[in-house]
Amino acid sequence: MNDRVTTLPSADHGYGISQDQRHKVMRNTYWLLALSLLPTVLGAWLGVATGITQSLRGGLGLIVFLGGAFGFMYAIEKTKRSAAGVPVLLAFTFFMGLMLSRMIGMVLGFSNGAELIMTAFAGTAGVFFVMASLASVIKRDLSGMGKWLFVGALVLMVGAMINVFVGSSAGMMAISVAAIGIFSAYMLYDLKQILDGGETNYISATLALYLDLFNVFQSLLMLLGIMGGERD
Convert the pLDDT of each residue in 60-75 to its tens digit. Answer: 777 888 888 899 999 9
User: How many other CB atoms sit within 10 Å of the CB of residue 194?
Assistant: 26
Q: What 8-state DSSP symbol labels residue 198?
A: S
Convert the pLDDT of each residue in 1-41 to its tens digit. Answer: 444 433 334 334 455 677 888 889 999 999 999 999 999 99
Provide Rg for the chain, Cα atoms.
Answer: 18
Residue 4: phi, psi to the nearest 5? -105, 130
This prediction has a pTM of 0.87
- Between the alpha carbon of residue 27 and those of residues 30, 191, 195, 218, the distances in Å are 5, 12, 11, 25
Q: What 8-state DSSP symbol labels residue 13?
A: S
Per residue, what are the HEC states of 89-103?
HHHHHHHHHHHHHHH
